[in-house]
Amino acid sequence: MSLDPVAYQPYTDPDDFIREVTDLIWVERSISFIRENYEPDSVVHGAYGTSTTRDEVIEGSLMRISATPDRTGQAEDVIWEARGDDAFLSSHLVLSSDLLTLEYSRTIANCLYRRGRMVEEWVVRDTLAGALLHGEDLDELARAQAPAFRGYTGSWTEPAPVDPIAKGDSGPRPDNYRSEVETVLEMIQTVWNERDLQKVESFFHRDLVLLTVGNRVILRPEGYRRALLRFLESFPAGQFQVRDIQTNYDVRYAGLRVAVTWKFTGDYIGKANYGPLTSSSVDVLGISQFTFHNGALVKEVRIWDDIALRAQIAGMRGDEPVALTNIY
């Protein structure tokens, strides 16, 4: 099924649409364009919960732009896929850099556009990168942000899709690149959920690269195993749910990529990497972008908001609250 140009006009395709609209708002500072770009009741799922109005997006965007006036960003990848004949779901990997300090971090925004208007978004930011670079106290940051975690509503609270190859949180999807999608889903189930870490080498190329939070660059299967263990050791019984998938082939971005929106839930009962244990369950929104080469996975970009995760735990523990902050 071909995509009606009404989905991305006046741009040439969804890739052009996403790159130019993002630049207009975040680089050229046309914050008012959000009123044309988002539906009034647009839904945004972020690391601190769900917002349900366009006004929250406008206010939150203004606060972020004002707080980081020297930062600029550009598309590192755009994985888009049609949702019917008048809509598309994009997974936009943004590489942001401070023009003065040259520090950088990544954001992934998955956006469902229908007839050129945003209706639902899932967004994650690597806030850990800046915190580590500036030597900030992570526990103190978590306590400061704890009141901002409002929790989720809408699609994020519903059961995970039974068959995400056919239909995810964003709706029915085309059956594109089934073999590669099945490989990614099998890897998530086998390695991430069943903890068969030896099988990393069955899915990934030997020279794999994992880019993840804190601006960490992880190399090769053993590095991948250790990075996964480092996350799971605090939530040893936790599980990953696949909420959505999109695929795209484009030589501009090194060929075939598969984006996966995932939810991680698990009780904080393991290693106390986030302060004193709570035995309470966390709810983590994450997005991964996988790249294939010659039938094997060769790269993954995996982002979640680690400061928001710490804030969620601090709130459960009852750490001293402070004034509410921007959740967008």
pLDDT, mean over the chain: 95
What are 126-137's pLDDT values in tens digits?
Answer: 999 999 999 999
Nearest C-alpha neighbor of 301 from the set 137, 138, 78, 62: 78
Same fold, 5-148 and 164-317: yes
pLDDT-derived band at 2, boundaries 50, 70, 90: confident
pLDDT value, residue 233: 97
Provide mean pLDDT across the span 197-213.
Answer: 98
Fold type of domain 164-317: Nuclear Transport Factor 2; Chain: A, (3.10.450)
Q: Is the pLDDT of residue 326 over 90?
A: no
Q: Which residues contact 71 (CB under 8 A, 6 or more apart)?
A: 96, 97, 98, 99
Give the per-residue pLDDT at 327.
56
Percent of the chain with pLDDT over 70: 97
d(CA 257, CA 246): 8
Across 97-119, b (16+ Cβ under 10 Å) vs e yields: ebeeeeebbbbbbbbbbbebebb
What secondary structure, in 3-state letters, does 49-108 show? EEECCHHHHHHHHHHHHHHCCCEEEEEEEEEEEECCCCEEEEEEEEEEEECCCCCEEEEE
User: Of the candidates 74, 147, 135, which has an alpha carbon nearest to the alpha carbon of residue 316?
Assistant: 147
Q: 3-class DSSP state for residue 220?
A: helix
What's the pTM value of the predicted model, to 2 decimals?
0.95
Tens digit of pLDDT for each residue in 255-305?
999 999 999 999 999 999 999 999 999 999 999 999 999 999 999 999 999
**CATH class, range 5-148:** alpha beta
Distance between start and end Cα atoms, the chain: 35
pLDDT for 319 beyond 90 = no
Residues 110 and 288: beta-carbon distance below 8 Å: no
What Rg do the C-alpha atoms of the chain give, in angstroms? 19
Q: Residues of the chain with pLDDT > 90: what percent?
A: 93
Query: How far apart (Å, rounded) are the C-alpha atoms in residues 196 and 184?
Result: 15
| C-beta separation of 298 from 204 below 8 A | yes
For the chain, what are the domain ranges? 5-148, 164-317
What's the mean pLDDT in 201-229? 98
Question: 110-125: per-residue pLDDT in tens?
Answer: 999 999 999 999 999 9
Question: Which pLDDT does position 318 carry in this prediction?
Answer: 83
pLDDT of residue 322: 46
pLDDT at 73: 94
Given this model, what pLDDT does residue 148 score?
87
Q: How far apart are CA 236 and CA 304, in angstroms?
A: 18
* Tens-place pLDDT, residues 62-106: 999 999 999 999 999 999 999 999 999 999 999 999 999 899 999
pLDDT at 320: 56
Which tens digits make up the pLDDT trace of 135-170? Answer: 999 999 999 999 888 899 999 999 999 999 999 999
pLDDT band at 5 (very low <50, low <70, confident <90, very high): very high
Which region among 140-154, 176-190, 225-239 has the lowest average model confidence (pLDDT)?
140-154
